[in-house]
Amino acid sequence: MAIELAYINLVIPIRNIEKHYSGGFEQYKKDNEGKMEHDDYLVMKSAMTMEEIESFAKECEDFGLVGVIEKQGIKHWLDFCIVDIIPTLPCDWLEHDGTAVYHIDDQAYIAELEALAINNKEIAQN
């Protein structure tokens, strides 16, 4: 399932939280109750200002996540990603459709998008 975007968003794969956050995802949910959304793959925290997002990013780095790395001279997101309509840097594990984000491993959502595309194509042909 995709997570609908809000203003400025910080997105983290749940598996990264499981690996790095003391107490894993269950504890992260308790510690961030009412401050996040999630599906089966991703967590998203939204903010109105870049300062708030930078604060969220610092929290991630404090528990061991890495934000930006460089691949072949180009900056990329690694363990979390900042999204403002689209990712602010390339992000290998994240896809977006302009209004929502989803993890590349979210096969159920990908199948839903493919079915919708097929349906739209059939409607357009008639």
In this prediction the pTM is: 0.82
Buried b (16+ CB within 10 A) or exposed e, 24-57: ebeebbeebeeebebbebbbbbbbeeeeebeebb
Distance, in Å, from the CA atom of 21 to the CA atom of 16, rounded to the nearest integer, reads 8
Q: For the chain, which residues make up each domain, given as ranges?
A: 3-125
Contact assessment for residue 101 and residue 2, using Cβ atoms and an 8 Å cutoff: yes
Distance, in Å, from the CA atom of 101 to the CA atom of 14, rounded to the nearest integer, reads 14
- pLDDT tens string for the chain (126 positions)? 678 888 899 999 999 999 999 999 999 999 999 899 999 899 999 999 999 999 999 999 999 999 999 999 999 999 999 998 889 999 999 988 878 888 888 866 556 655 655 555 555 555
